Amino acid sequence: MKQKSLFSAAMVAVLAFSFGMTSADDDSGDEKEMTRGEKRLERIMEKYEPTGETRHCVPLRYLRDSQIIDDQTIFFSGLGKRAYMNRMPHRCGSLAREERFMYSTSISQLCKSEIITVLDSFGRQWGSCGLGEFEEWQKKPKDDKAEKGDN
């Protein structure tokens, strides 16, 4: 009986110490490493800025490329100076991990509530999600980049 209670007390002490270490690590915000999505968003924000405009649909001919930010956000690069950030209303499981999706549309636009399907590297489907509104972004003027380089 005594061995059981000593073992239990030791486990409680180990668990308490582990939790203490975790919360201490979480408090140090300076040492926190950025996630892949945070790094991607930071790179996007160096080049683009939001316009404040939103659209329900974007013509496919305006879209060039997409970057998965996280399980709820996709950044679509467009032609010229325009781009679109799509924040889905719900988390789309495995999207950030797989970084691949497909869609099928009968019109020449990608619209809010359009269904995308997450794919793995073998093309297997991992679930579907509905897109959100398209927030318009524009490339920052080149003058801003030149001024930053002069400092």
Same domain, 58 and 110: yes
Res. 14: pLDDT tops 50: no
Same domain, 55 and 115: yes
Q: In this structure, what is the dihedral angle of CA atoms 95, 97, 98, 103, given to the nearest 10 degrees?
A: 10
**Would you place residue 151 in the very low, low, confident or very high pLDDT band (cuts 50, 70, 90)?**
low
Closest CA to 75 of 36, 34, 44: 44
Same domain, 15 and 74: no
Distance linking the first and last C-alpha atoms of the chain: 72
Q: Where are the beta strands (DSSP E) in 7-141?
A: 48-55, 57-59, 63-70, 73-78, 82-87, 101-103, 109-111, 115-119, 125-130, 134-139
Distance from C-alpha of 54 to C-alpha of 131, rounded to nearest angstrom: 13
Same domain, 18 and 61: no
**How many domains, in total, are found in the chain?**
2
Q: What is the pTM of this model?
A: 0.72
Same domain, 70 and 8: no
Task: Give the residue-averaged pLDDT of 70-92.
Answer: 95
Instruction: Find the domain containing 112 and state its range.
Output: 36-150
Who wins on pLDDT, 12 or 146? Answer: 146
